[in-house]
């Protein structure tokens, strides 16, 4: 049994935040599943690195008749996602649809376009045609109504780029409303992807700028505290009266997913965003280096997500008193996240254009 299997026993699924052609054409992903990986996530930055940083896609590119970079990218990405979904089909079946998902993101260019997001998500859902697909939709103001409508249409949604409790509240509410509209909500699965390490990186910078002993003592604590408060709200929504009727019908709760779990500050423990966020019915999607580090020296601290929640609330409440506008930081992080993925997407399309000649 690996530590990833131990995490699964503790209620947390580990998903692999990476995909590349050789993972799905060789035994790479299948071997990871054997070690305890329960799903795969992708984003424009991951595909930018995979396609732009290797020749693994050149053969398929050469076989395409299109000269349009976006059409070509769709073909490359959908091939990988289908193959990954097929490899994970056993996990999906054995878990009764709890795990075994692979995520594919709508175009980052549509982050502020509700109708465009809905249309693109439906297109990807039909093109991949796998029950264990999750379509990633950003939790922007335009994305929230799309999440509700797509959930109502029976599409599995990975709500992404969430940084604040307000983001979480909007996403959880959209999912609950969507399940009420769905023809068969018991077939739905969804995760709310709450980003972690970027919160510490931005908050630490503000704390360093203030420089008081109180500010410096709060470094490296905001992200985990923020996530713990989001999980407390998860418990209130999905384990309380608001979702009870749906749960009694067999509708799944929307799991909290911890994203951006690689440690940005080299002075921090490299597995802190895994060890400190272990709780029931959660997902942690981690990049390869973080998973390798956890397998090497991580500690399965069962229930760590449930500890010191009052202290987490006090820490977040103290930030404005210290001089940190935490709400402004988390709002800006979403803006920056959308811009970063859009830039990676544009760079990727430029790379593909060059390869297409």
Cα–Cα distance measured from residue 255 to residue 261, given in angstroms and rounded to the nearest whole number: 16
157 bridge partner residues:
135, 190
Let me know: does 274 contact 294? Beta carbons within 8 Å: yes
Q: Is 249 labeled as catalytic in the residue annotation?
A: no
Whether 259 contacts 230, CB under 8 Å: no
Judged by phi (left if over 0) then psi (alpha if -120 to 50, else beta), residue 268 lies in beta
Nearest-angstrom CA–CA distance, 11 and 310: 22
Cα(212)–Cα(340) distance, rounded to whole angstroms?
Answer: 31
- pLDDT level of residue 265 (50, 70, 90 thresholds): very high
| Residue 81 Cα distances to 21, 23, 64, 120, 246, angstroms | 10, 11, 18, 16, 30
Q: How much is the mean pLDDT over the chain?
A: 97
The percentage of the chain sitting over the pLDDT mark of 90, rounded to a whole number, equals 99
Q: Look at the block and give the residue holding tokens 């998902």.
A: 101
Condensed to tens digits (0 to 9), the pLDDT of residues 292-349 reads 999 999 999 999 999 999 999 999 999 999 999 999 999 999 999 999 999 999 999 9
Q: Give the model's pLDDT for residue 67.
A: 94
DSSP-assigned letters across all residues of 269-338:
-TTHHHHTT--TTEEEEE-HHHHHHHHHH----TTGGGSSHHHHHHHHHHHHHHT--HHHHHHHHHHHHH
pLDDT at 263: 96
Report which of 271, 196, 189 is spatially closest to residue 229, judged by C-alpha positions: 196
Tell which residue, 106, 138, 100, 128, has the closest CA to residue 119.
106
Interval 22-48 mean pLDDT = 97
Question: Which residues, 6 or more positions from 163, have their beta carbon under 8 angstroms from its beta carbon?
Answer: 194, 195, 198, 199, 226, 330, 331, 333, 334, 337
Question: Are 253 and 189 in contact, with CB atoms under 8 Å apart?
Answer: no
Residue closest to 133 by CA, chosen among 73, 185, 193, 89:
89
Query: What share of the chain has pLDDT > 70, as a percent?
Result: 100
pLDDT attached to residue 259: 98
The pLDDT of residue 217 is 98
Residue 215 confidence class, pLDDT cut points 50, 70, 90: very high
DSSP letter, residue 108: G
Active-site annotation holder among 136, 244, 249, 264? 136
pLDDT at 279 over 90: yes
How many residues would you count in the chain?
A: 357
The residue-averaged pLDDT of 38-67 equals 96
- Helices 143-152 and 114-128: crossing angle in degrees, nearest 10, is 40
Residue pair 13/134 in contact (Cβ under 8 Å)? The answer is no
pLDDT exceeds cutoff 90 at 357: no
Q: Say if residue 34 is exposed, middle or buried (CB neighbours under 10 Å; 0-12, 13-18, 19+).
A: exposed
Q: Which of 209, 171, 213 is nearest to 193 (CA)?
A: 171
Spacing of C-alpha 140 from chain mean position: 14
What is the domain range of residue 82? 3-356
Q: Indicate the pTM of the whole model.
A: 0.97
**Predicted confidence (pLDDT) per residue in 161-211, tens digit:** 999 999 999 999 999 999 999 999 999 999 999 999 999 999 999 999 999
Query: CA end-to-end span of the chain, whole Å?
Result: 48
Here the CATH number for the domain that contains residue 313 is 3.20.20.70
Number of structural domains found in the chain: 1
């Amino acid at each position: 049994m690996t530590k990833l299997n131990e995490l699964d026993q503790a209620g947390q699924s580990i998903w692999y935040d990476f995909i590349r052609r050789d993972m799905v054409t060789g035994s790479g992903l299948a071997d990871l599943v054997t070690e305890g990986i329960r799903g795969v996530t992708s984003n424009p930055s991951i595909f930018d690195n995979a396609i732009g940083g290797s020749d693994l896609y050149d053969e398929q590119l050469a076989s395409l008749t299109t000269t349009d970079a976006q059409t070509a990218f769709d073909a490359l990405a959908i091939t990988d996602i289908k193959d990954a979904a097929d490899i994970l089909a056993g996990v999906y079946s054995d878990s009764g649809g709890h795990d075994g998902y692979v995520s594919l993101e709508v175009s980052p260019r549509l982050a502020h376009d509700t109708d465009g997001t809905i249309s693109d998500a439906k297109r990807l859902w039909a093109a991949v045609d796998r029950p264990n697909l999750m379509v990633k939709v950003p939790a922007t103001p335009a994305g929230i109504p799309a999440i509700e409508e797509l959930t109502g249409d029976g599409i599995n949604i990975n709500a992404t780029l969430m940084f604040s409790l307000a983001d979480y509240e909007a996403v959880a509410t959209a999912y609950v409303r969507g399940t009420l509209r769905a023809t068969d909500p018991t077939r739905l699965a969804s995760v709310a992807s709450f980003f972690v390490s970027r919160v510490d990186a931005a908050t630490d910078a503000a704390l360093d700028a203030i420089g008081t002993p109180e500010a410096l003592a709060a470094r490296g604590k905001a992200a985990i505290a923020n996530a713990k408060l989001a999980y407390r709200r998860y418990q209130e929504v999905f384990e309380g009266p608001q979702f009870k009727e749906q749960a009694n019908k067999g509708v799944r709760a929307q799991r909290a997913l911890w994203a951006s779990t690689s440690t940005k500050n080299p002075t921090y423990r490299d597995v802190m965003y895994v060890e400190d966020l272990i709780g029931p019915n959660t997902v942690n999607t981690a990049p390869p280096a973080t998973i390798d580090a956890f397998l090497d020296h991580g500690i399965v601290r069962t229930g760590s997500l449930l500890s010191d929640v009052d202290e987490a609330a006090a820490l977040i409440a103290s930030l404005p008193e210290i001089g940190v506008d935490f709400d402004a930081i988390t709002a800006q992080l979403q803006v920056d996240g959308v811009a970063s993925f859009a830039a990676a997407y544009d760079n990727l399309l430029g790379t593909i254009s060059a390869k297409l000649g």
